[in-house]
Structures are given as structure tokens and as C-alpha cells.
Amino acid sequence: MTDLIDAAAQKAVEAIDYQRLNELVQEVCRIPSILGDEGPLASFLADYMKNSGFEGVGLQDVVGERPNAIGELGFGAGKRIVFTGHMDTKPVSIGWEKTSPFSGEIIDGAIYGHGIMDMKAALVCQIVAMEALRDSGVGLAGTVAMAAVSDHMGDQLGSIRYFDEYAADLAVLGELSGNEIFLGHRGRYYFDITVQGRSAHTCHKPLAVNANLLAAHAIIELDQSRLTPALEDWVVDLFGAETYMAPGRVYGGLPPGGPSMIPDECVIRVDCRPQPGVTVEQVRAEIEQCLASARERDSRFRAEVELVDVKNGYLAKPGDEVVELMRDSVRSVRGGAEPPLQAAGWLGDTASFGDKVPTVIFGPGGEPVYCPDEHLSVADIVEATRVYTEFAVRALTPRESA
């Protein structure tokens, strides 16, 4: 059976249309899709899949004019695997010199475009891989679906919407991993700390307790936090020992041009990035300890802590089916080289659907991202497409007639 799968995977890879691949990556790079404006790219991808003969193509409602673009190819009864990635990007960086942010220009073997690594190229690689499966005529058993989702950089509403409506046996998230296998990523907990003082006119400073001053004590303690919860050794090897916490935003004081007054309230947004397995309770306990230290600095310190957002980390395990399928695929594309297993510090959409569908992360591109002259080599785009193609063949075991 292994020889049969290898032969089928090779046949499918040989069916990849590389000219179409490069041209389509260029086209998506020319369509701005900054968070909140995903609609035009969603329409383009849906139209492309429809014209290519995909089934179940549509614009799935998410929020406002920001739908998901979805479609699939069926090959009979069997598993349902999903290729997925987000369409939204961060704002355009200043300082582009070699070309413009939405040119899609090819320069020295690389395609230039804002958001190409995060993650427009991966979306195209997944779609073209699906076309290769169909065009190769390889006999598969199951369905390959495409979910290009919106709002990743918001509340991940696109992924939530898709996986609430569609089931899957396995998924591949095309986040930028440098074409290496990522088992997962850290989570994100947001806490708001509201520090209260006592207001007074600036001329009556002795009567006031400046909330900004009190908040400064908490900011110092939070920034110095070094939470290292007990974790399995292999998890520490992937992510490191420390759960990162930072007072990322401060909302305090008075707006420019307003009346003169010493503020009685300041809010600190604490951005926490826990490894998978670190609980909200563990992080909150560390925050409370930091606030207790702030109170030792100034006995007037008073604060309330509120958990305002939770995005869980995600972690597949070596030996999981989805991981081993990806390892086999990467190994095959690279001629037998054993791929390392890694993890990410950023937050993926698997925070919202990874508990429902076993998922592995693999995609072209890596740091630095969202910078002037962002580009991705054609070679990396080609390799990712080959890996996605092999993965689908290996996940949907070929029939004897393949």
C-alpha cells in the first residue's frame, strides 16, 4: 500500500500547474484585504473556485461584507480534510522601495506583495494543490475542502463560523511556518486592570491620588514577571519555559485639550501568551501577585482585574495522524530528509477550531513579516504546493485503481 500511495502522490504532484500557481499568487497580492476589507478577495477566490469547477462554492456569511470563501472537491466516500487560512492582513508598512505593496511583481525569483506570507500565498498553494488532485485523475476516497476565512486578526469569527457549520476529520492551517511543520502555537489571554485613585484639580494636587502614578507601579511589576509554570519537558522544548506577559496598552489620564484634572482611573491591558496547558487561573494568580507587589510599593494602590478575552493555545502531538501524514509528505517532497517538529509564538485560528479538528500547521513564509518589500520566493511557493498535494493524497488513501 505504501508504494501505491507514493506513486499516487507523485502523479498528483506532476499535475501541478506552476504557471497558474505563480500567476494566481500575483493576482491575490494585487487585491488589498486589510482586516475589515476582506470582501473583494473573498469574491475573487470564490469566483476562481467556481470557474475551476469546485463544488459547494460560496461566500459564507461571517460579519458585514466580510464573508469566507469556501469550496470543495469530492472524490467519493471517505475522510473530509480541510485546507484553511485567513485572508485578512495587517495595515500596509511604510518604506516600500523595490516595488509597490500591491504589485505582485516578480523580482529575482520572488513575488512581492503586502501580506504574501501571512498568508495570501498559502491560500493559492492550497487551491492549486486541490486542482492538481483532480487533474491528475488519482483515485481518492473522500473530500478536500477549502476555507479562506476572514477576521483572523479580529476575533477569528471566520474560522468559528466555518467549523461550526462544516465538520472535518483533519485540517491543515497554512500559517507561515517557513515550510516547516508546526505542531501548534501559544494562546492569548487579555486581562484589564483598572487602577483607581482620587481625582482633583491640578491646583489641588495634595488632595488627589493620581491613578496613573499607581498604575506605573503595576506596570513595572507586570513587566518584570517571569512566570514559568510546570509543563512537560517536550512542551518546554517547543515553546520555552516562560509564559510571556506584558502591559501592552495603557488607557489613563485625560485627552489633550481637556480640562485640567488629576485622573482617578487608569486601565492597563495585560497581554498574556501562555503555552498550551497553562490555565487562565495560573496566569491570573501571577497577575494578582504582581499587583500585591505594587501595593507594597504604595499602600494607596487599589485595582480590579477583569478577564476580557481568551484564545487558547493549540498543540498536536508527535504521532498524531495529521502530524505523521504531514511528516511523510514533507519527507517525500524533500527526498527523504527528516523534517523537524516546531511550534509558533503567534496565535493561529486553531485557537478557535483546534479542539474540534486535528490540525497541523504548514505554510510558506516566515519572519520578518509585515515589513517593507515583503516577498516570498517562488521556490518556497512551489514546495508548499507540492506538500499540500502530497498530504491530501496520503490523507485520502488511494483506491486500488489509482
Q: Quote the pLDDT of residue 400.
A: 54
Comparing CA positions, the residue from 209, 189, 398, 358 lying closest to residue 275 is: 189
Mean pLDDT, residues 181-193 taken together? 98
Summarised one tens digit per residue, pLDDT across range 36-78 is: 999 999 999 999 999 999 999 999 999 999 999 999 999 999 9
Report residue 341: phi and psi, to 5°.
Answer: -105, 125
Domains of the chain, earliest start first:
2-185+313-395 (3.40.630.10), 188-311 (3.30.70.360)
In angstroms, the CA 378 to CA 110 distance is: 5
Single pTM value for the model: 0.94
Question: What pLDDT was estimated at residue 315?
Answer: 98
Position 402 confidence tier, pLDDT thresholds 50, 70, 90: very low
Share above pLDDT 90 across residues of the chain, in percent, rounded to a whole number: 93
Segment 68-92 mean pLDDT: 97
Predicted local confidence at residue 256, as pLDDT = 74
3-state secondary structure of 41: helix
pLDDT at 398: 58
381 pLDDT higher than 90: yes
Q: Is the pLDDT of residue 401 over 70?
A: no
Residue 105's DSSP bridge partners are: none
- The per-residue pLDDT of the chain, averaged, comes to 96
The yes-or-no verdict on residue 259 having pLDDT over 80 is: no
Residue 83 has pLDDT above 90, yes or no: yes
Report whether 222 contacts 287 (CB < 8 A).
Answer: yes
**pLDDT tens, 118-138?**
999 999 999 999 999 999 999
Contacts for 378 with CB less than 8 Å, ≥ 6 apart: 22, 106, 109, 110, 111
Going along 289-370, which residue ranges are E strands? 303-311, 314-315, 341-344, 359-361
